[in-house]
Amino acid sequence: MNREEQIANAEKATVDSIREQRFAKTAELVKIPGHPLHTFTLENEALAKTIKKCREALKSGHVEYKLIEEVRQLAIHYAKKGDLLYPHLKVKYEISGPSDVMWTVDDEIRDEFAALAKKADSQDDEWKKRFEAALTRADEMIYKEANILFPNCAFNFTDEEWFGIYRDSKDYAECFGVENGVWEDAEKVQKVKMSSISQDEIVMAGGHMTVEQLTAMLNTIPLEISFVDTDNINRFFNEGPKVFKRPGMAIDREVFSCHPPKIEQQVRRIIEEFRAGTLDKVPVWMDKNGRTMLVTYMAVRDKSGKYLGTMELVQDMEFAKEYFQK
């Protein structure tokens, strides 16, 4: 064996070793109940069964609309991949293949099933041919996920990153009857990063912003926003023109002092029900200066349900009224 052959064999052995490590790590994570790869794999197993049912229906000559809608649930699975796996793999680890290729195919499969669903009443030969082709592509994607995407993620992502993906995946609907299981290790980890304020930034669970950015964002939202703390003290009004005036001098005053006697008792009742947990939201529609307004009072609670205060949102709904009257 010459030098070149030795080098080639060594390189092949290294590649094979890395490949084996990736598959071994994937198999390890897939076995963990509630782990994102466990859930993704269960969804793919359920999707494979649905694809089989669709093919059997094609052979019988007609695919029921209910079954078409069932296979279209893959859109939820694809959305999770697109939001939670592809971008992180590309940006953090510079592995762009799945993002550049598989993501596009996901969209094409999803869109094709959506188009076919609209024409499900006339299942002619062309429709059946397209439906079978879409099933084949979906089946191939299951293979690509198991052999390309998941091993790449399993080999590279840290436990902390998987914990984040696990938390974020809870925001997605279930698909194919696969529930979002509980991953015990992730649940034990502190779920929310500690908030902090520095001279430059406010760090929150959802991200971090400068005070200037946060202030500008709150002032840009097309709502009048007021916040009253748990002691019934006015703590915040966003800036800008207001239908219901909020003088700056009212900050640090008791909220009840801002309302006339005939309204004060109603405000007290709402806040006390918010505090007691018997009420979460009170919408009030009214006409103000000839415009339709929606005033919404909302209880503000932390993740454990503890009452933190009351938020009042005022929105001019005239635009919606005009839109629907066209």
Strand 234-237 relative to strand 196-197: parallel, antiparallel, unpaired?
Answer: unpaired
In terms of DSSP H, where are the helices of the chain? Answer: 3-30, 36-60, 65-71, 74-80, 86-93, 97, 103-118, 125-144, 150-156, 159-169, 184-188, 211-220, 261-276, 318-324
pLDDT tens readout for residues 271-282: 999 999 999 999
What CATH architecture does domain 222-324 belong to? 2-Layer Sandwich (3.30)
**Protein fold of 3-188:** Four Helix Bundle (Hemerythrin (Met), subunit A) (1.20.120)
pLDDT, tens digit (0-9, with 9 covering 90-100), for 201-224: 898 878 899 989 999 999 999 999
Q: Which of 191-205, 213-227, 243-257 has the lowest mean pLDDT?
A: 191-205
Handedness of CA 172, 143, 160, 208 (dihedral sign): negative
Q: Are 134 and 105 in contact (CB under 8 A)?
A: no
Please report where in the chains the tokens 């859930």 appear, as a residue: 39
**Which residues, 6+ apart, have CB-to-CB distance to 160 below 8 Å?**
none
What is the b/e burial string over 129-142, where b = at least 16 CB atoms within 10 angstroms of the residue's CB? eebeebbeebeebb
The CATH 3.30.450.20 portion of the chain extends over 222-324
pTM of the model: 0.69
- What is the location of CATH 1.20.120.520 in the chain? 3-188
How crowded is the C-beta side of 237, counted as CA atoms within 13 Å? 20
Q: What is the pLDDT of residues 8-66, one digit of tens each?
A: 444 454 445 678 889 999 999 999 999 999 999 999 999 999 999 999 999 999 999 99
Between the alpha carbon of residue 233 and those of residues 3, 171, 229, 236, 263, the distances in Å are: 80, 33, 5, 9, 17
Judged against a pLDDT cut of 60, whether residue 193 lies above it is answered with no
Q: Which two tokens stand for residue 171?
A: 């925001």
